[in-house]
Amino acid sequence: MSEIEIVVIFKPKPGKADRFEEIMGNFANHVKQNEPGTLRYHLQREVKGDTPTFVLLERYTDVAALRAHGSSAAFKDFGRAMKKEDLLTEPMKVISTKGVAGFDRGKL
């Protein structure tokens, strides 16, 4: 079975980018420690502007690993925190992707 790659776009509300980054960082640490089927979970922050966009790069060993991630209690807690703290200007945009060109010389 082939790996699953996902890109997720987050747009925090003005003044909430740092809090979003904190929550996302904590969740990423949980994923690293508890989800061996998650091969990459890397958050990128736009460097220009007062309300940065965040891009999350995800890679899973297979569909089962992706499903395990999305159905975990920690994932559900993360979603509740996003809503409770009203951090985003719009719903996150999830894009399923596949590599078509380029390379990766090492870990991000």
Question: What pLDDT was estimated at residue 107?
Answer: 59
Work out the percent of the chain whose per-residue pLDDT is above 70: 97
Please determine, for residue 1, whether its predicted confidence score (pLDDT) is greater than 70: no
Q: pLDDT tens digits, residue range 69-81?
A: 999 999 999 999 9
Domain membership flag for residue 56: yes
How far does the chain reach from its first CA to its final CA, in angstroms? 24
Domain assignment of residue 81, given as a range:
4-97
pLDDT level of residue 108 (50, 70, 90 thresholds):
low
Q: How many domains does the chain have?
A: 1
Q: pLDDT tens digits, residue range 43-71?
A: 999 998 888 999 999 999 999 999 999 99
Domain membership flag for residue 107: no
Summary mean pLDDT of the chain: 93
SS3 readout for 56-75: EEEEECCHHHHHHHHCCHHH
Question: What is the domain-level CATH number for residue 32?
Answer: 3.30.70.100
Domain membership flag for residue 8: yes
